[in-house]
Amino acid sequence: MEKQLHDRDTQRMKTQRPPEIVVGGTDHARLTSLANAAFDTVPDTAEELLSELERARVVADEAVPQDVVRMGSVVEFEADGDRKRVTLVFPPEADIAVGKVSVLTPVGAALIGLAKGQSIAWTARDGTSHALTVCVVEQPN
């Protein structure tokens, strides 16, 4: 029954408009360059990240609300019935064993710019559909 509810929720999110996202100017510039450079190695994820960045509302770094996921944020989210806590990082810092998720992964690209309470559907590298909801956002010191 839980899987049926998850599948229904994921399908509903896929047909809805993605939530508005906010990205600071510095992150936007660095992530755009990163995504463009990654087209040869991870084209699907690079394209997804660029798509997210294109629809983002870009603001001055200091104007990004505290509850919005940015690079270095610690994020708690619910996905597939599980609650996860990760830090969103650039690829060289990624280490899933300690909860550091690269922005160049499907879930990392989905998280950037989301605020607490927002939900989004995303597709894993194996083609499976997922949905996540941001529960807590903590900013780096």
Looking at residue 69, its pLDDT comes to 98
Query: Residue 75 in contact with residue 117, Cβ under 8 Å?
Result: no
Segment 68-119, tens digit of pLDDT: 999 999 999 999 899 999 999 999 999 999 999 999 999 999 999 999 999 9
What is 86-117 written as a DSSP string?
EEEE-GGG-BGGGTEEETTSHHHHHHTT-BTT
pTM score above 0.85: yes
How far apart, in whole angstroms, are the C-alpha atoms of residue 101 and residue 85?
10
Per DSSP bridges, beta strands 74-79 and 82-89 are: antiparallel
How far apart, in whole angstroms, are the C-alpha atoms of residue 12 and residue 2?
15
Question: 85-89 long-range contacts, Cβ below 8 Å, gap at least 24?
Answer: 85/136, 86/111, 88/112
Looking at residue 141, its pLDDT comes to 73
Looking at residue 15, its pLDDT comes to 53
pLDDT, averaged across the chain:
90
Q: Measure CA of the first residue to CA of the last residue in the chain; give whole Å.
A: 42
pLDDT band at 140 (very low <50, low <70, confident <90, very high): confident
Residue 16, sorted as left (phi over 0), alpha (psi -120 to 50) or beta, turns out to be: beta
Segment 15-29, tens digit of pLDDT: 568 899 999 999 999
Query: Residue 11 in contact with residue 113, Cβ under 8 Å?
Result: no
- CATH code at position 125: 3.10.50.30
Count the domains in the chain.
Answer: 1
Domain that holds residue 69: 2-138
